Homo-oligomer: A and B are copies of this chain.
C-alpha cells in the first residue's frame, strides 16, 4: 500500500518536474506530504531565479516550514524526482524530514547513496527509498539534455 501512495505522490513531483522542463529548467520536481496531504510543491528554477539555492527540494522545504510554522518538518515525507545533491540532502536532514522518496538515482552528485551517502554519518537519518518511478523520472532528464544538445 505504501508503494501505491509513493507512486501517487511521485506523480505529483513529476508534474512539478514537467513544469520545470516547460520553462527550460533542468526538470526536477518535489512535493512534501504530511498526513496524506501535499503541504508544499516546487520545481527547479535555478536559471529563471538566477539563484543556486533554487532546487526543487530547497523551495519545497522553505514552503513547508512556512506552512507548518516551524523548522522541524516532523511527520513529513519529501518526494523528489532526482536523488538529492549534498545541499538538498543536508537541508532534508537539517529540517528533520522523516522520509525521503526519490525517483532517478544521480550517480554524479546524489547524496543518499549514489555519489555519497549522508546517512552513513552521525547526523539525523531520514528513512530513504530510491527508484520510485525511476525510469520515468530519469527519462524526463535524459530527453531534456538530448533536446538541449540538438538545439
Interface residues of A (CB under 8 A from B): 46-47, 49-55, 58, 61-62, 65-66, 69-73, 85-91, 93-96, 108-109, 111, 115-116, 118, 121-123
Q: How far is the CA of A71 from the CA of B111 in the complex (A)?
A: 21
CB distance from A21 to the nearest CB of B (A): 18
Interface of A, secondary structure class, is loop
- Across the interface, do B85 and A88 meet the contact criterion of CB distance under 8 Å? no
Given A86-B89, A86-B118, A123-B109, does the pair A71, B94 have CB atoms closer than 8 Å?
Answer: no
12 additional A-B pairs beyond A52-B72, A86-B93, A115-B123, beta carbons within 8 Å, are: A49-B71, A52-B61, A53-B91, A53-B94, A53-B95, A55-B94, A86-B89, A86-B123, A87-B91, A87-B94, A116-B116, A116-B118
Q: How far is the CA of A47 from the CA of B65 in the complex (A)?
A: 11
Inside 8 A of A53's CB, which chain B residues have their CB? 58, 61-62, 65, 91, 94-95
Contact partner of A65 (CB less than 8 A), chosen from B51, B55, B91, is B51
- Across the interface, do A65 and B52 meet the contact criterion of CB distance under 8 Å? yes
Question: Nearest B residue to A91 by beta-carbon distance?
Answer: B87
